[in-house]
C-alpha cells in the first residue's frame, strides 16, 4: 500500500484546514464535519432536517462492503469532492475532513465508498497524529477501509481524499462500531 502524503507533520496539514475546525469541541460530540451535510443539503435545496436523506443520484454509490455492521453507526456522511474544495499541496488532490468522537478500546470500521473516483482515506487521533491510511480495500475494490481499535478517547479526524488530483465525485463515509 503506498504512503500518500500524510508524512507531512500534522501541524502543516492543519494549516490547510478551515479555522472553524480548530475550535475546541464541547461535550461528547457524536460527529462534526467541516463540510456539514446540512450545508450541502441546503445548497441542493433540501430542508436542514432532511440530511439523513441521500442526495439526489446517490443511489449509484456502491454497496460493495459485504461485512455486516455489528455495532452502532457513529458517523454517516455523504459528500462530493468538486472543484473549489481544499487541495493537498503534495499532489493537488481534493479532500474533505470529518470528525467523530471515539472511546479508547472501541473497535471501529471506517469505510469510504465511491463509484466515481478512486478513494483514499486517512485517520488521525485526538493528538492529531496519523494512525492509519488506506488506498484500496483489495486489488478489485478501489474503495477504502480502515478497521482499528481506538487508542484514546477524544475527537478523531478522518480525511476523505482521492488517490490522485483528477478524482472528483460523490462519496459515502461510514464509521461504525465493530464487535
* pLDDT band at 121; cut points 50, 70, 90: very high
Kindly report, residue by residue over 78-103, the tens digit of the pLDDT: 999 999 999 988 889 999 999 999 99
**CA-wise closest residue to 36 among 112, 121, 96:** 96
- Which ranges constitute the DSSP H helices of the chain? 10-14, 37-43
Q: Where are the domains of the chain?
A: 1-17+69-179
Confidence (pLDDT) at 68? 52
C-alpha cell at 70: 455489528
Q: What is the distance between the alpha carbons of residues 68 and 79, in angstroms, rounded to a whole number?
A: 23
* pLDDT band at 33; cut points 50, 70, 90: very low
- Parallel/antiparallel/unpaired status of strands 31-33 and 119-124: unpaired
Kindly report, residue by residue over 124-172, the tens digit of the pLDDT: 999 999 999 999 999 999 999 999 999 999 999 999 999 999 999 999 9
Fold classification of 1-17+69-179 is: Jelly Rolls (2.60.120)
Amino acid at each position: 500500500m503506498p504512503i500518500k502524503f500524510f508524512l507531512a507533520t500534522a501541524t502543516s496539514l492543519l494549516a490547510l484546514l478551515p479555522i472553524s475546525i480548530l475550535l475546541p469541541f464541547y461535550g461528547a460530540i457524536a460527529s462534526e464535519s467541516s463540510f456539514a451535510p446540512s450545508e450541502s443539503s441546503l445548497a441542493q435545496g433540501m430542508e436542514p432536517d432532511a440530511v439523513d436523506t441521500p442526495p439526489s443520484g446517490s443511489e449509484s454509490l456502491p454497496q460493495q462492503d459485504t461485512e455486516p455492521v455489528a455495532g452502532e453507526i457513529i458517523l454517516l456522511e455523504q459528500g462530493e469532492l468538486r472543484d473549489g474544495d481544499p487541495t493537498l499541496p503534495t499532489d493537488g488532490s481534493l479532500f474533505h475532513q470529518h470528525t467523530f468522537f471515539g472511546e479508547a478500546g472501541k473497535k471501529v470500521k471506517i469505510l469510504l465508498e465511491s463509484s466515481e473516483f478512486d478513494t483514499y482515506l486517512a485517520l488521525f487521533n485526538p493528538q492529531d497524529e496519523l494512525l492509519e491510511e488506506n488506498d484500496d480495500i483489495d486489488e478489485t475494490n478501489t474503495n477504502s477501509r480502515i478497521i482499528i481499535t481506538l487508542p484514546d478517547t477524544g475527537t478523531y479526524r478522518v480525511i476523505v481524499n482521492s488517490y490522485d488530483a483528477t478524482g472528483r465525485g460523490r462519496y459515502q463515509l461510514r464509521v461504525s462500531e465493530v464487535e
